[in-house]
Copies of this chain bind each other. A is one copy, B any other.
Amino acid sequence: MKRASIVTIGNEILSGQTVDTNAAYLSGNLLSIGIPVVSSYTVGDDVDLIAQGLERACNDGDVVLATGGLGPTDDDLTRQAMARFLGTELQFHDELLKKIRQFFVRRNVKMSTKNRVQAYLPAGTRALPNHVGTAPGIMAEVKGKLVFALPGVPCEMQEMFEQAVLDRLKALAAEQAIVVRKLRCFGTGESNIAELIGPFMQRGRNPLVNCTTDCGVITLHIIAASKDKSQALEVARTEEESLRNVLGDLIYGTDDQTLAEVVGQRLGRQKKTLAVAESCTGGVLAKLITDVPGASRYFTHGWVTYSNPAKIMELGVDASLIDKYGSVSEQVALAMARGARKRAQADFAIGITGIAGPAGGTEQKPVGLVYIGVDSDGGTETKRFIMSGDRGSIRLRAAKNALNILRLTLHI
């Protein structure tokens, strides 16, 4: 099995000003294609230290992924360090400069002379295109090992990894056929899932089942290995079937599907439309829905009625309901959903109201209390939640739970 090592470059990581999310992103993605990460080094913006990090990583793994230090400023030293590590010189590439120039032309911005350094590559290496920023990545082969230098900005790094690195690594991992199938679950906790599928998660099995969790979404990674691809596929398929028998509706999707994608697919298939009315989530639910390309086919209207007058005026919520039950109540959540559905003439509507904190909680209505109402031709449904975590995670969990309620409604 091929192994990987990661080098994270940047003083901002060592000074604690930035949390290194790139390493976790890369590790998770590498694991999914069957290349486990065996070591990870963080080094400062220093040519010698970066070169040493690359050296060590190259000793540990068959693949090295470095992030950071490709920017245009004087403390971006990955190009030089890589040249030192490879024992070669930097070379200027006119076609890279052209691409960098085009980036600025498209934006109608003057290119700084500083950006010129980004057109240099260590001799014998190849550029990886950057569609998000200016810095090209670098790919090198040394002693039969593959070394990639990617930008440190997460969105640039991820785009480059997916576009220019992933397929190469998949091919590398292909000697032993590894099939990874992810099952996405929502609606219960990790420990409960672990209890339900305990026997599946034992170490050393083939397939291996790993479990990761991210803000309410629990992902089961089925990793099946075999000499032969179709054999590995079959092993993964059988395992998926067994897991589905145990987990049922807790599994909402596969691979990289989000709840919003699954809801969107079901709405699209059933030719139904959706409107949302948000209070405490303040746009998070609409954002998740419209993160999905093509959401305009089923999503037409969203309201962020952050004030009571907005709830009354825009959604026709009865003022007396707010007086009687408070704006954070089952009744108001449902009235918001009903109002949104009516105004948007939609088939389904969701209303959310709650207390995202950090202030505004009481003993009766604590921070984290959220009501979600769903209105449709088929009737209405409301649910009450007490979410834990900070403001950001309360809001995100509330929006995801709303999508999950709708998913289960659309299932029927």
For residue A36, CB closer than 8 A to chain B, the reply is yes
Closest partner residue, chain B, to A26 (CB atom)? B16
Residues of B close to A359: CB separation below 8 A: 293-294
Residues of B close to A71: CB separation below 8 A: 190-191, 213
Residues of B close to A6: CB separation below 8 A: 42
A115 to B189, CA, bound (A): 11
**Does B182 contact A17, Cβ atoms closer than 8 Å?**
yes
**Does A28 contact B17, Cβ atoms closer than 8 Å?**
yes
For residue A358, CB closer than 8 A to chain B, the reply is yes
For residue A389, CB closer than 8 A to chain B, the reply is yes
Chain A interface secondary structure, helix, strand, loop or mixed? mixed
A: interface residue count bin = 35 or more
Distance of A231 from chain B, by nearest CB (Å): 20
**With known contacts A24-B19, A283-B284, A11–B301 Cβ distance under 8 A:** no
For residue A153, CB closer than 8 A to chain B, the reply is yes
Interface segment, one of A81-89, A246-254, A305-313, A374-382: A305-313
- Candidate in A109, A300, A392 with the most chain B CB atoms within 10 angstroms: A300
Residues of B close to A290: CB separation below 8 A: 281-284, 304, 306, 395
**Does B115 contact A153, Cβ atoms closer than 8 Å?**
no
The 4 A-B residue pairs whose C-beta atoms are closest, nearest first, are: A282-B290, A16-B28, A283-B286, A302-B304
Q: Which residues of A contact B (CB under 8 A)?
A: 6, 8, 10-21, 23-31, 36-44, 49, 71-75, 103, 106-109, 111-115, 131-134, 153-155, 159, 180, 182, 189-192, 194-195, 198, 201-203, 210-215, 219, 221, 223, 276, 278, 281-287, 289-291, 293-296, 299-307, 309-310, 313-314, 343-344, 356-359, 386, 388-393, 395
In the assembled complex, 30 residue pairs joining A and B whose CB atoms fall closer than 8 Å, in A order, are A12-B212, A14-B37, A15-B27, A15-B31, A15-B36, A15-B37, A16-B23, A16-B25, A17-B219, A18-B212, A19-B24, A38-B49, A72-B191, A75-B201, A75-B210, A114-B194, A115-B191, A131-B389, A132-B389, A282-B290, A282-B302, A283-B285, A284-B287, A290-B306, A291-B395, A293-B391, A301-B305, A301-B306, A301-B310, A302-B306
